[in-house]
Amino acid sequence: MSKTLVMKFGGTSVGSVDALKNAIQIIRNAKKDWERVVVVTSAMSGVTNLLIDSAASASQGKVDSLSATESSLREKHFAAADALVKDEAQREAVKAEIDALILSLVDLCKAIAILGEASPRAMDTVASLGERMSVRLLAAVVHDAGIPAQAIESTEFVVTNAHFQNAHPDFNVTTEKTRGKLNPLMDKGIVPITTGFIGATSEGAITTLGRGGSDYSAAIIGAVLPADEVWICTDVDGVMTTDPRIVKEAQTLPEISYNEIAELAYYGAKVLHPKTIRPVLDAGIGLRICNTFNPSHPGTRLIPSVKSNGKVEGKVIKAVTAIRKQRLITIEGRGMLGVPGVAARAFGAVASTGTSVPLITQASSEQSICFAVPSELASTVLSSLEKSFAREIEDEDIDRVWATEDVSIITVVGAGMRHTPGVSGRVFSKLGNDGVNVLAIAQGSSEVSISLVVEADDTENAVKALHELIVAS
C-alpha cells in the first residue's frame, strides 16, 4: 500500500518568492519519499488580515482604501507568479484567475458598504479569498517547477455546518467527498494543492473553520483519507520550550505528547490550532511540525502519550507559556455558602456573552468563585453577571462582582509532572525566590499542566524563572 503524506504550509511559508522556492523544494523532496502527497496552503502572509480589514471598513461605509487593497493584492500575487511561473500561457491564466478573485472582493466590499453591515456569511466569503488566490498561485509555481500539481478548493470536499466563521465539518460526508476528489488525482501521480481554513455547507455556501483553521484543514484531510503522516510547515523549528522572544535560550522540543501540546495550544503557544490535534489523534496519525526555512531541522514530532508506567523519558517540565491581556473576575459573598447553582448561573451568564474562560478557581469555603476572561471582554462579562445576580447583590448575599487590572496566565506543561512528587513546590518556590507574586492557581485533572495567574508586569520574570526549571530538570 503506498504511503500518503499531507503537508500544510502556513502564510509565511508561501508569503514571498523565496518562501515559495523553499516550499517547492520541500514538496519535491517529499515526493521522492512519499508516493502520494497532498498540499494544504494558507493565504500569503498578511492577506487574510487585509481582506478582513477591507470588509470591516466597508461595513462602516468606507471604501476609499479599496483601490489600494486591490493593487496591494495584485502586486503580492503577481510578483510571485512573474518570478516563478516561466510558462507564459500558464502565468497569464493564473494571474487572470487571481484577478477575478480580487475583483470579487471589490464587489463584495461595495455590497457590504451599501448594506452597512457584514454578515458572518459575507465575512467568510471575504476571508476565503486569500486561500483561494494562494492555492492557484502555489499550484502554478509547483507545476511549473516540473512537479505535476493541480489546484482544488477544499469547498469541493470539506462539508461543514452553517456555523459561519467557526464551522464544524461533517466527517462522514467529508470522508466520502475527500477520497472521491483527491484519490483519483494522486493515483495519476498529481499533487493536489488545496485550500486550508475553508469548507462549504452542503448547499455550497463558503464557510471558514475559525482563525488558525488551516492546521485543522490539514488534520481533517489527513484523518479522512487517511494519511500516514501530517506535516505542519511553519516559520519555526517546531514546538519551543517557551517564547524565544522572552527567553533567548528557548529550545525546540524533539517530541511532545498530544496531551502536552493540547495544553500548550490552549494556553497561548501559537504553534498548533487547538482543534488540529483531535482528528489526528483519533485517527492515530503521525504529526510533525517543521520549518519551511530550515528544512533540514527534524522539527517536533507528536507522540500519542508518554509511557504510562510512571517512568517518563526526558524532562519533567517541558514548556512554559504565557497568555497576556486577561482579567480575573471574582464573585464573592458570604451568602453564597451552600447555595446550589451559583457556579452554574455564573458560567451561564458568561456563556451568554460568547466568552471563553481559560481558567477557573474556587475557594473551598464556597465564598468566592474566580475565573479569567480576555481583558477586552471583561466589562461585558461583568455587566452580564451583575444582571444575572441582581437580586443576590441587592440582598447582600453576594458582596461584589469585580475584575482585576490586566494579568497573565502562565502555564507549566509536562506529562512527567503527573509521576513526579514536588513539582508544584518547585514551581512556587522558584517564583517566590524570583519575587513573583501568584494571584490564583489552577491545575488540570489531567495533571499535565499547572496554570497560575500573575500581574501583567511579572509576565516575563515568571516565564524566565520557570524556564530555568526546564533546564534544571
Task: Please say which residue of 203, 220, 235 terminates a domain.
Answer: 235
Helix (H) or strand (E) holding 325: strand 319-332
Q: Considering the domain boundaries, does residue 284 fall inside one?
A: no
Q: Considering the domain boundaries, does residue 281 fall inside one?
A: no
Task: Please say which residue of 235, 260, 289 terminates a domain.
Answer: 235
The percent of residues above 90 in pLDDT, for the chain, comes to 74
Q: Considering the domain boundaries, does residue 330 fall inside one?
A: yes
> CA-to-CA distance for 298 and 238, rounded, in angstroms?
8
| Average pLDDT rounded to a whole number, residues 81-85 | 98
Q: Which grid coordinates are listed for 3?
A: 504511503
Bigger pLDDT: 195 vs 314: 195
The percent of residues above 70 in pLDDT, for the chain, comes to 94
Instruction: Flag the least confident range among 77-86, 265-274, 347-356.
Output: 265-274
Where residue 191 sits, what CATH number does that domain have?
Answer: 3.40.1160.10
450 in the same domain as 329? yes
pLDDT value of residue 36: 97
Contact 460, 434 (CB under 8 A): no
Where residue 381 sits, what CATH number does that domain have?
Answer: 3.30.2130.10
pLDDT value of residue 79: 97
360 in the same domain as 461? yes
pTM, two decimal places: 0.84
Which of 111, 136, 121 minimizes the C-alpha distance to 58? 111
For the chain, how many residues are written? Answer: 473
pLDDT value of residue 118: 94
> CA-to-CA distance for 303 and 309, rounded, in angstroms?
16
457 pLDDT band (50/70/90 cuts)? very high
What is the number of domains present in the chain? 2
pLDDT tens sequence across 386-413: 999 998 899 888 999 999 999 999 999 9
* Unique residue bearing C-alpha cell 527567553: 247
> CA-to-CA distance for 136 and 140, rounded, in angstroms?
6
Q: Considering the domain boundaries, does residue 262 fall inside one?
A: no
Q: Above 90 in pLDDT, residue 88?
A: yes
pLDDT tens sequence across 169-178: 999 999 999 9
Q: Tell me if residue 145 falls in helix, strand or coil.
A: coil
357 in the same domain as 212? no
93 lies in which domain range? 4-235
CA 209 from chain centre, in angstroms, equals 10
| Average pLDDT rounded to a whole number, residues 408-422 | 87
220 in the same domain as 133? yes
Contacts 24+ apart (CB under 8 A), 51-57: 51/105, 51/126, 51/127, 51/129, 51/130, 52/123, 52/126, 52/127, 54/105, 54/109, 54/126, 55/108, 55/109, 55/112, 55/118, 55/122, 55/123, 55/126, 55/127, 56/118, 57/109
Instruction: Flag the least confident range among 198-212, 232-246, 302-316, 342-356.
Output: 302-316
| Average pLDDT rounded to a whole number, residues 146-154 | 98
144 in the same domain as 56? yes
* Unique residue bearing C-alpha cell 519519499: 33
230 in the same domain as 350? no
229 in the same domain as 310? no
| Average pLDDT rounded to a whole number, residues 281-304 | 91
* Unique residue bearing C-alpha cell 493540547: 262
Q: Considering the domain boundaries, does residue 458 fall inside one?
A: yes
| Average pLDDT rounded to a whole number, residues 285-308 | 86
165 in the same domain as 26? yes
Q: Above 80 in pLDDT, residue 265?
A: no
> CA-to-CA distance for 106 and 129, rounded, in angstroms?
11
Task: Please say which residue of 235, 251, 271 terminates a domain.
Answer: 235
Q: Considering the domain boundaries, does residue 301 fall inside one?
A: no
116 in the same domain as 9? yes
324 in the same domain as 230? no
- Residue type at 147 in one-letter notation: I
Bigger pLDDT: 200 vs 261: 200
Q: Considering the domain boundaries, does residue 271 fall inside one?
A: no
Bigger pLDDT: 277 vs 413: 413
Contact 122, 208 (CB under 8 A): no
314 in the same domain as 226? no
Instruction: Flag the least confident range among 13-17, 168-172, 313-317, 402-406.
Output: 313-317
| Average pLDDT rounded to a whole number, residues 120-138 | 97
472 in the same domain as 344? yes
Contact 431, 466 (CB under 8 A): yes
Q: Considering the domain boundaries, does residue 421 fall inside one?
A: yes
3-state SS, one letter per residue, for 330-343: EEECHHHCCCCCHH
| Average pLDDT rounded to a whole number, residues 105-133 | 96
